[in-house]
Chains A and B, each alone.
Chain A
Amino acid sequence: MSARSIAPDLSSLEVPWDAWGEPFWQATAEHKLLMPRCADCGTFRWPPGPFCPECQSQKVAWVPPGQGRIYSFTVLPVPGDKDAAPRYRVPVLVEFEQAKGVRLVSALIDAPLDGIAIGDAVEVEWLTAANASVPVFRLPSS
């Protein structure tokens, strides 16, 4: 059986946000993943910021981004006790079917290390940080 990626311990992480990112973290508190889309021209932007890079509008609509898929990923050994079983983190870059042009980088948790591929569908999972609910991802079958 192949090793599986761990979930990071984020319990002491204080997530900082500014006015433009606040709606994202308000939504995650309710376990909803929303992404910012320009309310004038429909272009997504990431990270959340004051202007649309396409039309420079400041109007934003926060919308569900649709199905996430793996755009790329890497596997990192976690430093630790040499005698203990090795542990791995998997940073994953996710793109969304209904939020073209932006990607969210997060952790892929509980995934078999030899069973991850670019293009795989992923589901959102929630981890608890000191002051926020944090979206991470998992493979549906795992």
Chain B
Amino acid sequence: MSRAPCGGEAAIVGVGATPYYFRGQSHPQTVYELIGKAVFAALADAGLKLDDVDGFTFFAYGFDPGTITEQLGIRRITFSHIVSGFGGGMAGVLDLASMGIETGRAKTILCIGAAQQVGRRYGQSLTNLGVTPDSVFHRIAGLSGPGQALALSARRHMHLYGTRREAFGEIVMASRAAASTRETALRRKPLTLDEYMASPMLADPLCRLDFCLETDGALAFVVTSAERAADLPKPPVYIAGAAQVGTRDWGRAFFWLNQSDEAFTTAGAGAVAQRLYEKTGVGPKDIDVALIYDHFSPLVIMQLEDYGFCKRGEGGAFVESGAIRLDGSLPINPHGGHLSEGYVVGMTHVREAVEQLRGTAVNQIKNARTALVTGGPAPIPMTAAILRNER
């Protein structure tokens, strides 16, 4: 196995999560209560105290460090940064945390992700934002959510490459099969292809089962130096590298719909994949388990192409071959992912990567040493991370 030429100076040493709730069911807890519970669980897991915390990293998702500091009673922060770009920026929090540790800006950084949908729905996020001179065309077209806009990419992928609904169905079925053994998962009943095909169309070619769950919940991760990690109770999971890349070809993604012709049927992750692999010295063949951002099943196919697991246009056939199952050549989302376990805007994928690399996952991939975590296809920056259990 190739050794990472750089990175690995920072490690995840603690993980905490609330239960995952169907949309709105975390009420009357507030989102800050959910965050606090995840933070305290993560610190307990790491064997550290609240007073050890001196940094935060987030991605743009509607909660702020000031409130967290006040409500939890954190004494002093020397590093607090937010990656822009919604779920696309999710894995970038690990990049920021690494930067904070490597530069000495902070010693113990909390990476936090949370979602709560009381009185609003992420599935209608295009209309939540109000009508602007740019977005009025989405309104005229009738596009009110990301899944509807991404259906345009999915249809064109089918048109250009012959990608089949059976491939979308396989992604959902694989996710459900994995989730069936995981108690934290919200959708655990195994699914047949007939059941998938009978699911009502919400945004043709996407049926209801191609849409991920809408979930409330919070997760927190404690990041510190590899040196300090050696003295803490849990096996460290090293951040071999994380990358944040944006290109003008991609821009605001489905909020724009004017991506370049080449980019339109991708998940926008080609440039971040290239930078991540260069930065870490890890390639697609070195990945033992991949946590792929699965908010809509066709986008999994496009990411598998972007990250070099198969050629452009061959993602459907790759998936239909069984490769992404737990016993396949590239197991993806052994926790059930956003489609079946829960959707906290990507952060559940980081948790699963840590559990896989600690060797404690519910659906443990044998000898998993290197994990890929991808952020979602969304406005730039697009982000991804490679985690390892050895430096």
Contact = CB atoms under 8 A, between A and B. Distances in A.
Listed residue (B200, B201, B206, B260) with the most chain A CB atoms within 10 angstroms of its CB: B201
B248 A74 contact: no
Interface residues of B, number: 32
Given A15-B136, A16-B131, A16-B136, A92 B141 contact: yes
A43 interface: no
B156 A8 contact: no
Contacts of B220: none
In this complex, the interface size class of chain A, counting residues with CB under 8 Å from chain B, is: 20 to 34
A15 B261 CA distance: 28
Contacts of A136: 140
B204 A74 contact: yes
A22 to B, nearest CB: 9
A53 interface: yes
B203 interface: yes
Given A73-B155, A74-B155, A93-B257, A105 B143 contact: yes
A46 B152 contact: no
A8 B137 CA distance: 12
A134 B136 CA distance: 10
A3 interface: no
Given A74-B204, A93-B152, A47 B134 contact: yes
A107 B141 contact: yes
A39 interface: no
Interface in A112-128: 118
Contact of B133 (A8, A21, A71, A102): A21
A138 to B, nearest CB: 14
Contact of A105 (B131, B203, B257, B261): B257
Contacts of B257: 93, 103, 105
Interface string B118-145: 0000000000000111101111111100
B370 interface: no
B202 interface: yes
Contact of A73 (B152, B200, B206, B264): B152
Contacts of B134: 47
A53 B159 CA distance: 29
A76 B203 contact: yes
A118 B159 contact: yes
A75 B142 CA distance: 10
Contacts of B200: 77
A107 B204 CA distance: 15
B201 A105 contact: no
Interface of A: 8, 10, 13-18, 21, 46-47, 53, 71-77, 89-93, 101-107, 118, 134, 136
Interface of B: 131-134, 136-143, 148, 151-153, 155-156, 159, 200-206, 248, 257-258, 260-261, 264
10 closest A-B pairs (Cβ-Cβ)? A91-B141, A74-B151, A75-B204, A72-B152, A89-B142, A72-B156, A105-B141, A47-B134, A118-B159, A17-B133
